[in-house]
């Protein structure tokens, strides 16, 4: 098609390198999500709101590494924090507890009061994995319930019904588990329960039926970072899980620090039992944090006392009494320094990001409306998606599947050649570095492309 030809004309070096990449990595990528047809753009440099590819093209970056970079690229405060941490203390890594773990922990306790205690991991995936193990340990039940269309990382227990073909996914009020990867043990089809998002009655019915097996419900409070839960759904879900003694896990890897500093739980005013964070809180480096109620988290403590002076007398009697959690890089000091610097900037600037996101969303909607095309910029906080649909509202995965992906994809390729970057069909994430200039440029590009297309 025209737009793909244009794209290829502008990115000959990317094309060349992408074919080299195929000789090194399966599919030419090291995360399947980074692949797209005909080939992805090979980036070379990032600065502020901009990415630069190896052909010398410049893009406003709205992918922001899948939402991780909330201060944009190369923010000086992060650079300085990392340098100071490494130079002043003379190490990259201690292999012992250190002060930044406490500093970050206190920050998290302050911003996320439900996270009474925390543990650090190296990714969002590891955080949700640990959350599930904690839920098993706490409840003595060994199944997990997740929602259709929700992503929690790439391991067997949750790699079901993330992006299933709707025709194979069962009835909408009782979805069936669809494995999303080759090599996933079919065991998990029977041990992971799939729930319908934003459908409280159907969710409650499934949970009631299987309450003796289900340790926890895990969810993205904003599905895929852009489809919000309804407030009444959230309230109901909190109530029913409490009643049935099922733990509620908020996976805020995407929403943490992006809906507001306190994440989705502060917006919905809900106290989950366990929360997972990642992305933004690593300032661009690999990170995960899990936190929650003290009595749940304490299962990972090697001692049964939280008082250092009597803990030597209170070693838990055997390994089976302690939930195993370890990791060479957990609480990496350089990364926590980057994360703390990020939070500090966001404390001053997040409101501006939220306002600018609304400005861009409104601008995009009005450009579509002028041309009589029904569109919604679906999202809360600093992430949204451009959904071309006649539906009045998008409530869940299946609603989203019925939107006009063909037009959206055409639009995305045209926008790429105009210097607006997100992976085709992906969300838009905003950062502190998206200012007036970037928003105006983006809207002009939209205007130009829409004029071409309709």
Q: Which stretch binds ligand PLP (CB under 6 A): 109-117, 145-153, 370-378, 413-421?
A: 145-153
Which one of 59, 141, 146, 251 is the catalytic residue?
251
Q: Which stretch binds ligand PLP (CB under 6 A): 3-11, 88-96, 149-157, 317-325?
A: 149-157
> Of all residues in this chain, which one has the CB nearest to ligand PLP in the complex?
124
For the window 250-289, what string marks contact with ligand PLP as x by the rule CB under 6 A?
-x-xx-----------------------x-----------
Handedness of CA 420, 277, 397, 39 (dihedral sign): positive
CB closer to ligand PLP, 151 vs 257:
151
Cα–Cα distance, 144 to 138 (Å, whole number) = 13
Shortest separation between residue 286's beta carbon and ligand PLP, angstroms: 7
The residues in 75-134 that bind ligand PLP, with binding defined as CB under 6 A, are 123-125, 128
Pick one of 75, 133, 141, 152: the residue that binds ligand PLP (CB under 6 A): 152
* C-alpha gyration radius of the chain: 22
Pick one of 120, 151, 233, 250: the residue that binds ligand PLP (CB under 6 A): 151
Tell me the two tokens of residue 12: 């000959």
Shortest separation between residue 210's beta carbon and ligand PLP, angstroms: 23
Answer whether 357's CB lies under 8 Å from 381's CB: yes
Residues across the chain? 454
Shortest separation between residue 308's beta carbon and ligand PLP, angstroms: 32
DSSP codes of every residue in 242-310: HHTT-EEEEE-TTTTTTSSTTHHHHHHT---SEEEEEGGGGTTS--EEEEE-HHHHGGG-SBS-S-TTT
Shortest separation between residue 365's beta carbon and ligand PLP, angstroms: 25
- Spatial strand order in the sheet of 375-378: 375-378, 383-388, 428-429
Q: Which stretch binds ligand PLP (CB under 6 A): 90-98, 147-155, 232-240, 427-435?
A: 147-155
The C-alpha torsion from 265 through 268 and 273 to 277, rounded to 10°, is -20
Catalytic residue check, 151: yes
Pick one of 46, 153, 292, 381: the residue that binds ligand PLP (CB under 6 A): 153
The C-alpha torsion from 289 through 293 and 296 to 297, rounded to 10°, is 40
CB closer to ligand PLP, 66 vs 197:
66
Helices (H), 35-166: 64-67, 76-89, 99-111, 124-139
Shortest separation between residue 251's beta carbon and ligand PLP, angstroms: 5
Answer whether 294's CB lies under 8 Å from 418's CB: no
For the window 34-73, what string marks contact with ligand PLP as x by the rule CB under 6 A?
--------------------------------x-------
**Of 134, 125, 174, which Cα lies nearest the Cα of 273?**
134
Helices (H) and strands (E) in the chain, counts: 15, 16
CB closer to ligand PLP, 133 vs 254:
254
Which one of 279, 293, 361, 410 is the catalytic residue?
279
Cα distances (angstroms) measured from residue 122 to each of 66, 128, 155, 325: 16, 11, 15, 12
Which one of 39, 151, 397, 428 is the catalytic residue?
151
Shortest separation between residue 152's beta carbon and ligand PLP, angstroms: 5
Catalytic residue check, 329: no
CB closer to ligand PLP, 195 vs 204:
195
Answer whether 133's CB lies under 8 Å from 323's CB: yes
Bond into 335 cis (ω within 30): no
How many residues of this chain bind ligand PLP (CB under 6 A)? 13
CB closer to ligand PLP, 66 vs 400:
66
CB closer to ligand PLP, 123 vs 305:
123
Cα–Cα distance, 289 to 136 (Å, whole number) = 18
Shortest separation between residue 227's beta carbon and ligand PLP, angstroms: 12
Q: Check residue 163 and report its DSSP letter.
A: S
| Residue 146 is a binding residue for ligand PLP (CB under 6 A) | no
Q: Which stretch binds ligand PLP (CB under 6 A): 146-154, 167-175, 233-241, 440-448?
A: 146-154
The residues in 195-254 that bind ligand PLP, with binding defined as CB under 6 A, are 220, 251, 253-254
Shortest separation between residue 116's beta carbon and ligand PLP, angstroms: 21
SS (H, E, C) 357-406: HHHHHHHHHHHHHHCCCCEEEECCCCEEEEEECCCCCCCCHHHHHCCCHH
Shortest separation between residue 1's beta carbon and ligand PLP, angstroms: 29
Number of Cβ within a 10 Å radius of residue 341: 22
CB closer to ligand PLP, 57 vs 128:
128
Catalytic residue list: 151, 251, 279
Residues that bind ligand PLP (CB under 6 A): 66, 123-125, 128, 151-153, 220, 251, 253-254, 278
């Amino acid at each position: 098609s025209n737009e793909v030809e244009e794209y290829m004309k502008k990115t000959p070096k990317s094309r060349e390198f992408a074919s080299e990449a195929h000789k090194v990595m399966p599919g030419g990528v090291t995360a399947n999500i980074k692949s797209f047809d005909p080939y992805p753009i090979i980036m070379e440099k990032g600065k502020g709101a901009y990415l630069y590819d190896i052909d010398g093209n410049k893009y406003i970056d709205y992918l922001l590494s899948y939402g991780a970079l909330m201060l944009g690229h190369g923010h000086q405060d992060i650079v300085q924090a990392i340098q100071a941490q490494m130079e002043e203390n003379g190490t990259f890594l201690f292999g012992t507890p250190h002060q930044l773990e406490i500093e970050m922990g206190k920050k998290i306790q302050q911003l996320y009061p439900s996270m009474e205690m925390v543990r650090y991991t190296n990714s969002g995936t590891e955080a949700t994995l640990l959350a599930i193990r904690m839920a098993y340990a706490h409840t003595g039940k060994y199944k997990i319930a997740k929602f259709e269309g929700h992503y929690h990382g790439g391991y067997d227990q949750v790699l079901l019904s993330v992006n299933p073909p709707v025709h194979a996914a069962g009835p909408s009020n009782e979805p069936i588990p669809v494995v999303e990867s080759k090599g996933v043990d079919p065991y998990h089809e029977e041990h992971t329960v799939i729930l319908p998002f934003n459908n409280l009655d159907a969710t409650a019915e499934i949970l009631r039926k299987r309450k003796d097996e289900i340790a926890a419900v895990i969810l993205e409070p904003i599905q895929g970072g852009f489809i919000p839960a309804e407030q009444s759904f959230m309230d109901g879900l909190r109530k029913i899980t409490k009643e049935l003694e099922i733990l509620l896990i908020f996976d805020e890897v995407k929403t943490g620090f992006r809906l507001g500093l306190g994440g989705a739980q502060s917006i919905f005013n809900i106290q989950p039992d366990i929360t997972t964070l990642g992305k933004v809180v690593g300032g661009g480096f690999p990170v995960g944090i899990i936190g929650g109620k003290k009595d749940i988290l304490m299962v990972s403590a090697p001692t049964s006392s939280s008082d250092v002076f009597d803990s030597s007398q209170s070693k838990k009697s055997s390994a089976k009494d302690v939930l195993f959690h370890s990791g060479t890089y957990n609480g990496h000091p350089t990364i926590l320094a980057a994360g703390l610097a990020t939070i500090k900037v966001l404390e001053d600037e997040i409101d501006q990001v939220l306002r600018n996101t609304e400005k861009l969303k409104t601008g995009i909607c009005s450009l579509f409306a002028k041309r009589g095309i029904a569109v919604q910029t679906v999202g809360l906080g600093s992430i949204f998606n451009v959904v071309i649909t006649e539906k009045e509202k998008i409530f869940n995965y299946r609603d989203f599947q019925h939107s006009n992906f063909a037009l959206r994809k055409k639009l995305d390729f045209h926008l790429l050649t105009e210097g607006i970057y997100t992976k085709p069909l992906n969300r838009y994430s905003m950062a502190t570095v998206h200012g007036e200039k970037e928003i105006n440029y983006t809207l002009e590009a939209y205007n130009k492309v829409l004029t071409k297309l309709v």
